[in-house]
């Protein structure tokens, strides 16, 4: 079964930490009594995703439970890094809530490092582990940005610009 590119893009976006940040920002506006229909339309246009799906994601917080079937190793790595980003952000931001915006940008490298380290868990020799870890971190970083570029997904670095672009304030 072949899944079209748009469906994969939405699935990847809905599993990303960037999506959680954007949805959180928009739902905060909604909770303050402001209409966010314009922002949802702009977001769908900026990300080139279906408005209906973005609407469900923002208003109903329907983060897709489905992961792309038969996904490639690169997609698996991307999704693992995004999951680790979300985990690190919620874990660490409880401690450092005063530096929230600045700290979030610093989470990508530790997330990649943890995923790379987990992939090397069977290696017992510390020297060999350290050598392979350095290689894996570089490889996984490249894969992360390659997938984000291929599927035109926003990264955490781009989220503030997207929020500023769709904001009506």
**Residue 77, domain extent:** 5-166
DSSP 62: -
pTM of the entire predicted model: 0.84
Average pLDDT across each block of 10 residues of the chain; the chain has 169 residues. List them in order.
77 92 86 79 92 88 62 91 90 59 73 94 91 96 96 91 83
Q: What is the DSSP string of 65-130?
A: ----TT--HHHHHHHHHHHHHHHHHHHHHTT-GGGHHHHHTTSHHHHHHHHHHHHTTT---HHHHH
Measure the CA–CA gap between 90 and 78, rounded to whole angstroms. Answer: 19
Say if residues 10 and 3 touch (Cβ distance below 8 Å): no
């Amino acid at each position: 079964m072949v899944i079209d590119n748009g469906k994969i893009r939405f699935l990847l976006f809905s599993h990303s930490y960037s999506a959680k940040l954007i949805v959180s920002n928009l739902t905060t506006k909604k909770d303050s009594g402001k209409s966010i229909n314009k922002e949802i339309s702009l977001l769908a246009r900026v990300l080139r995703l279906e408005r209906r799906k973005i609407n469900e994601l923002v208003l109903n917080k329907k983060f897709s439970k489905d992961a792309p079937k038969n996904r490639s190793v690169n997609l698996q790595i991307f999704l693992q890094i995004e999951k680790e980003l979300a985990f690190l952000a919620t874990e660490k931001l409880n401690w450092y809530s005063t530096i929230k915006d600045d700290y979030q940008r610093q989470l990508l490298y530790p997330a990649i490092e943890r995923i790379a380290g987990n992939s090397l868990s069977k290696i017992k020799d510390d020297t060999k582990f350290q050598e392979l870890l350095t290689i894996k971190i570089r490889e996984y970083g490249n894969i992360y940005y390659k997938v984000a570029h291929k599927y035109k997904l926003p990264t955490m670095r781009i989220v503030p610009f997207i929020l500023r672009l769709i904001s009506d304030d």
